[in-house]
Amino acid sequence: MKNARDIVVKPIVSERSVACMEQNKYTFKVDLKANKIDIKSAIEEIFKVKVLDVKTMVVKGKVKRMGRYEGKRPNWKKAIVTLKEGDKIEVIEGL
């Protein structure tokens, strides 16, 4: 198993993810090869909270152009983590 800091890349702070924080749901960018069990244990280890549910999705990379050259952004995985009632992640709350 990988290190917990390698599984959870960074929190996603957007208008939609901040609105979900009221329902105790937090959004993270995670390693593309991580499964739900790895994500749950990594979040619990890093933030010392109890995770109830993990939902994951793979976000497809967009095709971008620079003049006549075309490239593609990489795919990445997003995880929406639901915490136990009363638990909070303070790192995101401060933003």
The residue written with tokens 């136990």 in the block is 84
Residue labelled with tokens 């952004």? 73
The dihedral through the CA atoms of 95, 39, 61, 10 has a sign that is: positive
Q: Which helix (H) or strand (E) holds 4?
A: helix 4-7
Phi, psi dihedrals of residue 12, rounded to the nearest 5°: -105, 120
Residue 91's pLDDT band, with cuts at 50, 70 and 90, is low
Q: How far apart are CA 49 and CA 89, in angstroms?
A: 8
Average pLDDT of the residues of the chain: 92
Residue 94 clears pLDDT 90, i.e. is over it: no
Domains and CATH numbers, the chain: 4-84 (3.30.70.330)
**How many whole angstroms separate alpha carbon 93 and alpha carbon 21?**
9
pTM: predicted TM-score of the whole model, two decimal places: 0.87
pLDDT in tens, 44-90: 999 999 999 999 999 999 999 999 999 999 999 999 999 999 999 87
